[in-house]
């Protein structure tokens, strides 16, 4: 008899696990609280505009390819990944603008305008991050248990991956100006942590940006969960939407899930093994009735989804970063003092630069993301005054840097607040990127993919090993699927 697997959540991690296990011959059922797949990687459609609401770029395409190959398929049959050029632009508060190109030689020309000798620093930085990536990449497919702490092979890697240095400190070795150091460490904010707190081995994100390049799935980022959903269904997985899991328990060697149907009637299902793709801390608290240990959480974000009446000027790239005048202070406000900045940094995603299919003809999409403190410790969501100030500052900064009056061109607008991450996605403390990627919450010290108290219960997602970000969550799905296959093989 085939082993029966239950999956809690149809986010990217849950769908990838379902596809892998279905392809391996398991009987898989997926239960999702929302009415469609994707979790945070979702979509809002309004008046012909298609707003991707979660991740906005694809890095490390080899991690995506691996999932499909493991299921006997080709990624290119499911997703059309277009490489971006330019990769992104950085708008500094003093009026400076740095463009990062697909062609490294053009990027080095840009860097030299900011700092003589920066081209050589760029080569050195990429050489070191490439070395770090070669050591880190295989580790992203490994499950680290307590016994791994005693394995000398891993401790020998501490220096090689710069585990005891900060992301910022690594960049500081190669660039003199803070402006360029921020340009090569801002990626830390996309895993929800300050570059001053993040270990240097997370510089593999910078490596991916500059060496492997940045991609966009034509048709939008929501194509990714749709592709994984199709892959999972082809592998035989059955997916049930509007079916929130209310409780997880062990029962006579099985894992018991209590699931509510569309009529809110609870039903009990038994599985040989189960995988939780819900937020890890939420699952511990609400599904398992446990009190999790104290964790450090990533930041939250305030989001604006804007459909514009006309095209924006050509000075905008697909990805645009607007840095605060005092970025060090801004980072401290987000990650230390927990205050809403009067001088925020923010990100503007303009996917219609590359993919016109996402908006009506002649119109544009602006996805604006402002990092803000999470809601840990009883912090309240944005007040009306704070939101008005943030929104006004964003439009003033865009207008000043580009001459484009964004607010005047808005046809459709949707907003997403920190509290919405709790209400809609069950994200603990509204920590958009899950548990913070600090040294004390990486590798051995991050929650493992198998539960220590319930045999046959597993986890996948941003807050478990190896961490957050689409490619890394896909690696998490392989770790979890391998654990389940190994257990079945031993049985």
Q: How many domains does the chain have?
A: 1
- What pLDDT is stored for residue 131 in this prediction? 96
- Structural domain contains residue 310: no
Banded model confidence at residue 268, pLDDT cuts 50, 70, 90:
very high
Q: Which residues contact 486 (CB under 8 A, 6 or more apart)?
A: none
Judged against a pLDDT cut of 90, whether residue 173 lies above it is answered with yes
In this prediction, residues 268-290 reach a mean pLDDT of 97
- Structural domain contains residue 33: yes
* Two structure tokens written together for 264: 């809110």
Tell me if 5 sits within 8 A of 29, measured CB to CB: yes
- Structural domain contains residue 67: no
- CA 101 from centre of chain: 23
pTM: 0.96
Sole residue written with tokens 């979509």: 43
Judged against a pLDDT cut of 60, whether residue 67 lies above it is answered with yes
In this prediction, residues 257-275 reach a mean pLDDT of 94
Judged against a pLDDT cut of 80, whether residue 291 lies above it is answered with yes
Q: Which helix (H) or strand (E) holds 67?
A: helix 61-70
CATH number of the domain to which 24 belongs: 3.50.50.60
- What pLDDT is stored for residue 489 in this prediction? 72
State how beta strands 88-91 and 319-322 pair.
parallel
The conformation of residue 420, written as its DSSP 8-state character, comes to: H
Q: Would you call the peptide bond into 61 cis, given omega within 30 degrees of 0 as the criterion?
A: no
Judged against a pLDDT cut of 90, whether residue 150 lies above it is answered with no
Q: Which helix (H) or strand (E) holds 8?
A: strand 4-8
For residue 358, how many other CB atoms are within 10 A of its CB? 25
Q: What is the pLDDT of residues 348-401, one digit of tens each?
A: 999 999 999 999 999 999 999 999 999 999 999 999 999 999 999 999 999 999
Q: What is the pLDDT of residues 78-119, one digit of tens each?
A: 999 999 999 999 999 999 999 999 999 999 999 999 999 999
- What pLDDT is stored for residue 66 in this prediction? 98
Handedness of CA 349, 354, 358, 359 (dihedral sign): positive
In this prediction, residues 332-351 reach a mean pLDDT of 96
Question: Distances from the Cα of 57 to the Cαs of 63, 190, 364, in angstroms?
Answer: 14, 11, 18
Q: Virtual CA dihedral for 56, 104, 181, 154, nearest 10 degrees?
A: 80
In this prediction, residues 223-232 reach a mean pLDDT of 98
- What pLDDT is stored for residue 490 in this prediction? 62
- What pLDDT is stored for residue 157 in this prediction? 78
Helix spans in 378-491 (H):
384-402, 418-425, 470-490
Least confident range of 48-57, 137-146, 278-287, 412-421 = 137-146
Q: What is the pLDDT of residues 24-49, one digit of tens each?
A: 999 999 999 999 999 999 999 999 99
- Structural domain contains residue 231: yes
For residue 109, how many other CB atoms are within 10 A of its CB? 13
What does pLDDT average to over the chain? Answer: 95
Sole residue written with tokens 């808005």: 410
Q: Which residues contact 273 (CB under 8 A, 6 or more apart)?
A: 3, 5, 6, 255, 456, 457, 458, 484, 487
Question: Distances from the Cα of 11 to the Cαs of 60, 61, 116, 284, in angstroms?
Answer: 19, 18, 45, 18
- Structural domain contains residue 196: no
Tell me if 302 sits within 8 A of 33, measured CB to CB: no
Judged against a pLDDT cut of 70, whether residue 491 lies above it is answered with no
Beta strands in 233-329 (DSSP E): 238-240, 245-251, 254-260, 266-271, 273-276, 300-308, 319-322
For residue 328, how many other CB atoms are within 10 A of its CB? 13
- Least Cα distance to 479 among 463, 464, 490 occurs for 464
Q: What is the pLDDT of residues 293-330, one digit of tens each?
A: 899 999 999 999 999 999 999 999 999 999 999 999 99
Q: Which helix (H) or strand (E) holds 30?
A: strand 27-31
- Structural domain contains residue 153: no
- Structural domain contains residue 193: no
State how beta strands 88-91 and 97-100 pair.
antiparallel
Q: Which residues contact 258 (CB under 8 A, 6 or more apart)?
A: 245, 246, 247, 248, 249, 266, 267, 268, 269
Q: Would you call the peptide bond into 466 cis, given omega within 30 degrees of 0 as the criterion?
A: yes
Residue 8 belongs to what domain range? Answer: 4-44+219-292+438-490
Q: What percent of the chain shows pLDDT beyond 90? A: 90
- Structural domain contains residue 283: yes
Q: Which helix (H) or strand (E) holds 349?
A: strand 346-349
What b/e string do you get for 73-87 counting C-beta neighbours within 10 Å, with b at 16 or more? bebeebbebeebebb
Tell me if 239 sits within 8 A of 278, measured CB to CB: no
Q: What is the pLDDT of residues 245-265, one digit of tens each?
A: 999 999 999 999 999 988 889
Judged against a pLDDT cut of 80, whether residue 1 lies above it is answered with no
Handedness of CA 468, 416, 38, 241 (dihedral sign): positive
Judged against a pLDDT cut of 80, whether residue 152 lies above it is answered with no
């Amino acid at each position: 008899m085939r082993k029966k697997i239950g999956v809690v959540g149809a986010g990217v991690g849950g769908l990838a696990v379902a596809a892998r296990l279905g392809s391996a011959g398991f009987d898989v059922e997926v239960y999702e609280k929302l009415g469609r797949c994707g979790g945070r990687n979702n979509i809002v459609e309004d008046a012909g505009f298609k707003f991707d609401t979660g991740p906005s770029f694809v890095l490390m395409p080899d991690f995506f390819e691996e999932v499909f190959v493991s299921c006997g398929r080709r990624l290119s049959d499911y997703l059309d990944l277009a490489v971006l050029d330019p990769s992104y632009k950085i708008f500094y508060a003093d009026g400076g603008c740095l463009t990062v190109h697909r062609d490294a030689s053009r990027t080095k020309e840009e860097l030299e305008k900011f700092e003589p000798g920066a081209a050589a620093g760029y080569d050195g930085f990429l050489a070191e991050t490439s070395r770090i990536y070669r050591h880190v990449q295989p580790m992203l497919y490994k499950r680290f248990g307590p016994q791994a702490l005693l394995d000398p092979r891993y401790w020998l890697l501490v220096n090689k991956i710069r585990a005891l240095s900060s992301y910022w400190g690594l960049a500081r070795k190669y660039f003199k100006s803070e402006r360029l150091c921020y340009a090569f460490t801002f990626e830390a904010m996309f895993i929800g942590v300050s570059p001053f707190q993040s270990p240097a081995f997370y510089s593999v994100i910078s490596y991916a940006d500059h060496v492997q390049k940045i991609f966009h799935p034509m048709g939008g980022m929501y194509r990714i969960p749709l592709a994984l959903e199709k892959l999972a269904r082809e592998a035989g997985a059955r997916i049930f939407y509007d079916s929130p899991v209310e409780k997880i328990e062990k029962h006579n060697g099985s894992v018991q899930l209590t699931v509510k149907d569309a009529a809110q009637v609870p039903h009990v299902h038994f599985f040989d093994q189960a995988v939780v793709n819900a937020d890890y801390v939420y699952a511990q608290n609400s599904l398992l009735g446990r009190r999790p240990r104290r964790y450090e959480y990533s930041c939250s974000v305030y989001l604006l989804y804007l459909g514009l009446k006309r095209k924006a000027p050509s000075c905008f790239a697909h990805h645009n970063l607007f840095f605060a005048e005092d970025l060090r202070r801004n980072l401290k406000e987000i990650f230390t003092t927990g205050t809403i900045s009067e001088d925020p940094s923010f990100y503007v995603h303009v996917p219609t630069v590359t993919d016109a299919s996402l908006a009506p003809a002649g119109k544009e999409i602006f996805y604006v993301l402002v990092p803000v403190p999470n809601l840990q410790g009883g912090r309240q969501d944005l007040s009306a005054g704070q939101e008005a100030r943030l929104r006004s500052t964003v439009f003033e900064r865009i207008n000043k840097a580009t001459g484009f009056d964004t607010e005047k061109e808005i046809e459709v607008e949707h907003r997403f607040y920190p509290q919405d991450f709790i209400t809609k996605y069950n994200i603990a403390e509204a920590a958009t990127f899950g548990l913070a990627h600090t040294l004390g919450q990486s590798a051995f010290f991050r929650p493992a993919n198998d539960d220590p108290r319930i045999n046959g219960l597993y986890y996948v997602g941003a807050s478990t090993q190896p961490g957050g970000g689409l490619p890394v969550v896909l690696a998490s799905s392989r770790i979890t699927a391998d654990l389940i296959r190994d257990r079945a093989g031993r049985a």
